[in-house]
Amino acid sequence: MNTLEKNIDAFDDEEDEIIETIVINVDPGQTFMRLDKYLSHHLKNISRNRIQNAIETDSVKVNENNVKPSYKVKPLDKITLSLAKASGIPSEVLPEDIPLNIVYEDDDLMIVNKSPEMVVHPGHGNYTGTLVNALVHHFANLPTGIDGKVRPGLVHRIDKGTSGLLVIAKTEYSMQFLAKQFADHTTERTYNALIWGEPKEPKGTINAHIGRGFKDRRISDVFPDGDYGKEAITHYEVIKNMRYVSLIKCNLETGRTHQIRAHMKYIGHTLFNDATYGGDKVLRGDLFSKYKQFVENCFEIIPRQALHAKSLGFIHPTTKEWMQFDSELPEDFTKVLEKWDHYLQFK
């Protein structure tokens, strides 16, 4: 009898990419059959179109090798599928006419510059006003999921309180093609962050596993020994040092929940005003009341973690050309940087 295994991380778990891995161990008595027909027969809840897209994007491997749809499945083959999966969002999501800042759009995808206050998907007290609510309203035919759930083109996500660029897939093929790039870590993602203090090294790499916190499942903890969580790699570079805070650039090799926020706390440089990780307190600087008031004023200007998804690069699903997008820092971020500059000039 064929055996089938699924490895499905919840949408809010460590990995922020939307990938579902299915492994099929073919029965010893299996007769030869075309791969696409075999998969359609054994995966009743997945459309043949999705299966074809997965094969065409090299998201289906047989015995660790890429194959064509015409490949003949043989006894004892091991078939591995990496599919763009349903996001766990109920199909009855309320469409809402929420304006979107669309940076780029074509028939296959679009790039959205998310405002910091917008949540990406419904859940945990945010059932309306999300990016998903807006997408369902603006686009009637975005890629759908399975099991009665909707997957409105989400390939990756960024946290509430974080601003910046997101790519949205508009077709099933684009969804699969882009999701594979995120899973294979072949995209380029650059963030700007304002952190407390100045790192000892102006440039470095943080390679430490990240997983859900044991005491608080809402946060991500770092496990440097690698005995828990998943591999997480963040490259950082200091752009500007402002004595008590620093503006940095971060490039992600992996995409774990709260990766930059958890990694920067781990090396002792929590993001400015990141309440979840303790950055909403005066962590560097003077004890004078005027300085404390200055910091509080900065917190009021940027009432969120100072993190912005600045640039995004990937291969286009149809043209196969490299696409690169960049965004400016939002107003609250630039105002805080200006205040710190002004403070140091007159310090």
Residues carrying an active site annotation: 159
Provide the β-strand partners of residue 246: 195, 241
One-letter amino acid for residue 319 of the chain: T
First-to-last alpha carbon distance for the chain, in angstroms, is 75
| DSSP sequence for 129-174 | SSHHHHHHHH-TT----STTEE--SBS----TT-EEEEEEE-SHHH
**Are residues 229 and 221 in contact, defined by beta-carbon separation less than 8 angstroms?**
yes
Provide the β-strand partners of residue 114: 164
Beta carbons within 8 Å of 41's beta carbon, 6+ residues apart: 33
Distance (Å, whole) CA 89 – CA 47: 19
Tally helices (H) and strands (E) across the chain. 7, 20
* Look-up of token digits 């600087």: 285
Helices (H), the chain: 35-42, 48-56, 131-138, 172-184, 259-266, 289-301, 331-345
Q: What burial class does residue 65 get, using C-beta atoms within 10 Å of its C-beta: 0-12 exposed, 13-18 middle, 19+ buried?
A: exposed
**Are residues 51 and 79 in contact, defined by beta-carbon separation less than 8 angstroms?**
no
| Residue 103 C-alpha from the chain's centroid | 18
| DSSP sequence for 52-71 | HHHHHTT-EEETTEE--TTP
**Are residues 5 and 23 in contact, defined by beta-carbon separation less than 8 angstroms?**
yes
**Are residues 114 and 310 in contact, defined by beta-carbon separation less than 8 angstroms?**
no
Residue 210 belongs to what H/E stretch? strand 209-212
